[in-house]
Amino acid sequence: MNCFLSGLRVFLLLLLVAACSTPDLAAPNAPTVPPSLGDAVNTARSFLDAWVKNDYNTMYGLLSPRSLVTSREAFTAVYEQAEQTLNLFGENAKRYKILDDQTERQGSTAIIRYDMAFNSRFLGEFTDPARTMRLVLTDRGWRIAWSTMDIFEGLAGGAQLVLERTPPLRGNIYDRNGKVIAQDNVPNYAVRLLTRQYPTGNPDACFRALAETFRLYIGDFEQYRPFTGQDFGFTVGTLFQSDYEALRPSLDRVCLLQYVPQTTRFYYGGNIAAQTVGFVAPIQADQQAAYPNVAPGSLVGQFGVERVWQEQLSGVSGAELLIRTSDGVNVRTIYRNQAARGQDVHLSLDRDLQLKTEQAIAAAYNEANWAPLRNGAAQARLVTGAAAVVLDVKTGDVLAMASFPYVHSDAWRIGGTWDSTDVISRYFAQRAIVNHATEELYALGSVMKVVSTAAAAGSGAFRMKETRYCSGTLKSPDDGRILTDWIYLEPGRNPNYHEEINLHQALTSSCDIYFWLIGEKLNSMDPSLVRQYANKMGLGVPTGIDSVVDLEGVIPDPTWTRTNEGRAWGVGDSLNIIIGQGSVKVTVLQAARMTAAVANGEYLPNPTLVQKVGYPGQPPTYSAPERETAPLEIDPEVMAGVKLGMCEVITNQRLGTANWVFVGWDHGRVRVCGKTGTVQSGTLYPHGWFVAYAGLPDQTPDIAIAVLVLHSREGSETGAPIARRIIEAYYGLPYAPFPSYWADPYEVLPTPGLSGGQ
């Protein structure tokens, strides 16, 4: 008995010890601590943290049993679609703040209120405040009683989240005088040529009128001639309201036209300075990365100022985040921001001079025998074109920059009247989208003799009054070939040589013989001398201009030739460079800048295109920086000789290569000095150059001009008449007729050996 009681005591003691050491083995029906409102808040926080991280699996794992009727895939898809609509970006694309003082519990339901903030590319940062999340108590604790309204209140019953964008008003582009060059939402007319009939029965009369009105090359209208008598229509240009009213009667007399009203971003003159100012067109696929805030299909700048200043001009799009039913009823506006207009850009261009410069080039092409339709270049499928630059001599401001053929911005516009595919293809084939003034390099021909004269006299190799006898031919010191001056082969020249002339007269007459002698002498002194003077005068170096391509160009010397052509420099290289041939390559803008430097005689001006950018009535956000001008550091007497040679190009009746172009010019009213140049192009049709400066007598000249006409004839016959008309336009002088010989048949020029021509 005692043994039994003793054993029982041991057993009870062991049970007591076991009970104290194993508390986890409580009875299954023991009471537990119920989930609190704080637990519900923590669950909501976990859900929102996962949303911030786009962790949809974690979010889905926190849903209540009833909410799981939505599949994991559908749940993820609806969030991803919302994110795509919002276009969120950045590290803090989504943020939240739980409003602790507004949380509450109603039995087995918890209500959590919170603010949700988003960072959208199109809406910016915005907050959707006082949102509500409902949680229910389950055997797994608090879980989200989820519906699509947890993404945004009102998003239910098949309604969709919609982001609508409002395009901003694009900033205007103004000229130096505050005149509009480009402006949004301007009513205008697309003008379509209907080929069914011509009121006078003469297509040529219609083609000429349209070419003159829209600054087009008349040869391009030949493509429409085969459609005569057929019901075809082709858009050829646009007219502003006042131009439409003024020009329609005269156009309708010779053409059957359709005038289609439209409202677009309109450029003065329809397409003024298209390659320089640029234009807008739907954003291209390869531009999307550069403009992440721009919606597909939006209009963005293409080329020139419109492209470079896209961010400032474009402004900020307005946007509205909506919930909308399938039948188009707006349930809720979540957030809206207003569109903000773009900034205005003010250019150095003179709008009226720009238009008249373009008109001068187009008019010349439509009269001259050197135009491709009449000189055979069209049949040879040569790329043809022209460029002209007008600079303010004192400041370097670009007053006009024209590149022909011109392009029309509406050809890129979706939903317009243009036959876009054909027109744009033609633009590319003609290289019309290229700004010939800055984006391409050309040999300078005899215009280079301006620099060569300065180098010859400035180096002390020649004096301005030092004479040489120019017989028309010269035995090459390099290889013994007989070199021929341009005048030696000129038809009808008597005599066909320049006789005894001094240095400044050599520049006036563009005598190759004299300059070959200069080249030989300078080569023996320092083969890099011409390059040094050319760089000093702005050739073969960037101009520093803004908003357009600024090519460096090439003025070769022994180091450049060895590096780039893999050969040694020879005397023949100096003979080529001295007359602007060989590997010499410059832009039309550089030629104009060089001419401006000669005109002021003291410094190399800095070309400027954009003067300021900003909102109307507010201080500018950008002003063109002051750039220190580089002094020429050329002896004033040398520059005086260069100027004399250039002035006599115009005034010397015996030697001046452009004297005949300026017959009848009133030099007492406006003084003009210039230089002609002709460049071998590798074809029968050389490129023609003319540079000039002009101003009032006994005053610093006002403007410097460079004109280049591709695949045409000599510069005196092509660029000089165009430059004269530009100068007449600048000073408000009556236009002189273009040369009468332009009506004669085209004659192929002889090709002198190594010569740059006149």
Q: What tens digit of pLDDT does each residue of 513-524 get?
A: 999 999 999 999
What mean pLDDT do residues 718-733 have? 98
The set of residues, in sequence order, having a beta carbon less than 8 Å from that of 32 and lying 6+ positions away, is none
H/E segment holding residue 13: helix 2-21
Per DSSP, helices labelled H in 510-607 are: 512-525, 529-536, 558-565, 571-578, 588-600
pLDDT at 285: 77
pLDDT at 16: 35
Question: For 445-615+634-743, CATH number?
Answer: 3.40.710.10
Per residue in 636-677, pLDDT tens?
999 999 999 999 999 999 999 999 999 999 999 999 999 999
- 44 pLDDT exceeds 70? yes
pTM of the complete model: 0.87
Render the burial of 679-715: b for 16+ CB within 10 Å, e for the rest. bbbeeebbbbbbbbbbbeeeeebbbbbbbbbbbbbbb
- In this prediction, residue 20 has a pLDDT band, given cuts at 50, 70 and 90, of very low
**Residue 749's closest CA among 384, 448, 443, 493?**
493
What mean pLDDT do residues 707-732 have? 97
Q: Where are the beta strands (DSSP E) in 438-492?
A: 468-470, 473-475, 482-484
CA 619, CA 447: separation in Å to the nearest integer? 43
Question: For 37-156, CATH number?
Answer: 3.10.450.100
* Whether the Cβ atoms of residue 180 and residue 268 lie closer than 8 Å to each other: yes
Percent of the chain with pLDDT over 70: 94
- 341 pLDDT exceeds 90? yes
The set of residues, in sequence order, having a beta carbon less than 8 Å from that of 757 and lying 6+ positions away, is 445, 446, 486, 510, 676, 677, 678, 679, 680, 686, 714, 715, 749
The set of residues, in sequence order, having a beta carbon less than 8 Å from that of 467 and lying 6+ positions away, is 500, 501, 502
Per residue in 186-201, pLDDT tens?
999 999 999 999 999 9
* Whether the Cβ atoms of residue 182 and residue 265 lie closer than 8 Å to each other: yes
- 54 pLDDT exceeds 70? yes
CA 698, CA 700: separation in Å to the nearest integer? 7
- The answer to which of 186-190, 419-423, 476-480, 523-527 has the lowest mean pLDDT is 476-480
pLDDT at 751: 66
pLDDT at 8: 33
- In this prediction, residue 614 has a pLDDT band, given cuts at 50, 70 and 90, of very high
- 52 pLDDT exceeds 60? yes
- In this prediction, residue 32 has a pLDDT band, given cuts at 50, 70 and 90, of low
- In this prediction, residue 34 has a pLDDT band, given cuts at 50, 70 and 90, of confident
Per residue in 601-612, pLDDT tens?
999 999 999 999
Q: How far is CA 91 from CA 47, 73, 87, 482, 614, in A?
A: 18, 25, 13, 74, 31
- In this prediction, residue 422 has a pLDDT band, given cuts at 50, 70 and 90, of confident
* 613, β-bridge pairs: 345, 622
Q: In the chain, which segments carry CATH 3.40.710.10? A: 445-615+634-743
Highest averaged pLDDT of the listed ranges 2-16, 30-44, 302-316, 725-739: 725-739
CA 368, CA 374: separation in Å to the nearest integer? 8
What mean pLDDT do residues 394-400 have? 97
- In this prediction, residue 295 has a pLDDT band, given cuts at 50, 70 and 90, of low
Q: In the chain, which segments carry CATH 3.10.450.100? A: 37-156
Q: Rounded mean pLDDT of the chain? A: 92
The 3-state DSSP class for residue 242 equals helix
* Whether the Cβ atoms of residue 511 and residue 521 lie closer than 8 Å to each other: no
pLDDT at 4: 35
- The answer to which of 261-275, 375-389, 727-741 has the lowest mean pLDDT is 375-389
- Around Cβ 633, how many Cβ atoms within 10 Å? 10
- 528 pLDDT exceeds 60? yes
Amino acid at 562: R
- Cα within 13 Å of Cα(87), Cβ side: 17
What mean pLDDT do residues 383-405 have? 96
Q: Which residue has the higher pLDDT, 487 or 616?
A: 616
CA 85, CA 322: separation in Å to the nearest integer? 10
- The answer to which of 4-8, 537-541, 633-637 has the lowest mean pLDDT is 4-8
pLDDT at 293: 73
